[in-house]
Amino acid sequence: MFGILKIAYKLLVNDKSKFVALLVGITFAVFLMVQMTSLFSGILGRASATVVNIGADVWVMDPSVQTVANTIPLPDYILDEVRSIPGVKCAVPLYTGGALVKLRSGDYQAVNIVGLDDSSLFGRPQLTTGNIQNVFAENGFIAIDDSEFRKLENPKIGTDFELNDHRGAIVGIAHVASSGLFGVPTLYTTYNRALQYIPNTRFTISYLLVEPKSAKDIPYIKKQVAAAGYLALTRDEFMQKISNFYVFQTGLGTNMFLMTIISFIVGLSISGQTFYTFILENLEKFGAIKAIGAKSHELVLMILFQATFVCLTGYGLGVGLCALIIWAAKLYLPDYAAVIIYWNLALALVMVIIIAALSSYVGVRKVLTIEPFDIFRG
């Protein structure tokens, strides 16, 4: 068996032009598939950045909310009603909204303002510089050091700016788990200061952040919130709701799906055609191997080995090339959102296996029909 596989390997790599063509086709097909799905994964991850960074177990919102950026203010009485639900350990308001700040240079920059509960600062980011207590000082804001930090002109402790004719000052620099999707820097402050600095509608609570006494209390909390006419979702459910919106209600999901399918078809067509040509050019050699006693199942094994070897090698090269491109892109483009996760790799692997199977099928059909007599007669 080892000898048959060794012969198959030598037949494959000795024809360098066909071998390289097969590898290039599979490599770029895998590269495009992983690249497209990785970009999609990165976009979905950044779309839920606020949910990830705040980290609340349960989010209470208006039922019409589709993404975390699409806030619909809640009336103040909902806060008291949620706090009175048995099983709720604590519930605090959260403000999120957009604003325009004037930097020291005189330039204006759009920012996302997150207002945390004044008494608990629930959901606060982890500071790398400064003291969290300074956010209670007059005009105190915390800047998030992420890919958008430079748009605030790389502020330091004490850097001031103007927001809606109010003076703001940076009292801390923090980092968070995920950067936002739309290329807008983020500033954290207290809930009341956010309301004071930014014009608002009659209702001002963007979301209620709820910490249940135990995980078993979450279903009852969700039921009681629904009875009040609002929606309570766990962190994972809210992230899934956001993902579903971008996948099914925007063109993003459809475009990425089509690009992935096109990449698969390109890889399949290139590998299938090249592999078939390779079989035709080596048909006499397969006939000779069959003439000296190789069984049909051994010839099939040779074809399967060759197709599998090429596809898995191309898969590794494609994933490596994609990882290299993403790494290089993030060095020079901080906003680049692509990220490789397990399901990207699994999806590409499944498609490569399909390519290998179909390419093998083409070769197997041709090899099984050869007769040694016809080969030697020619």
Q: Burial of 94 by CB count in 10 Å (0-12 exposed, 13-18 middle, 19+ buried)?
A: buried
Q: Burial of 156 by CB count in 10 Å (0-12 exposed, 13-18 middle, 19+ buried)?
A: exposed
**Pair type for strands 108-116 and 231-234:** unpaired
Taking only the tens place, the pLDDT of each residue in 241-290 is 988 888 888 777 778 778 778 877 877 777 777 777 777 777 777 777 77
Share of the chain above pLDDT 90, in %: 33
What is the spatial distance between Cα 147 and Cα 100, in angstroms, rounded to a whole number? 19
- At 344, the pLDDT band (50, 70, 90 cuts) reads confident
Query: Domain residue spans in the chain?
Result: 2-46+251-377, 75-229
pLDDT value at residue 218: 93
**Cβ-based neighbour number of residue 230 at 10 Å:** 20
- At 101, the pLDDT band (50, 70, 90 cuts) reads very high
Helices (H), 228-341: 235-248, 251-281, 283-291, 296-332
Taking only the tens place, the pLDDT of each residue in 295-306 is 777 777 888 888
What is the spatial distance between Cα 354 and Cα 268, in angstroms, rounded to a whole number? 9
- Name the residue with higher pLDDT: 62 or 333: 62
74, 198 contact by CB (below 8 A): no
Share of the chain above pLDDT 70, in %: 97
pLDDT value at residue 70: 83
Chain mean pLDDT for the chain: 85
Taking only the tens place, the pLDDT of each residue in 135-155 is 998 889 999 988 888 889 889
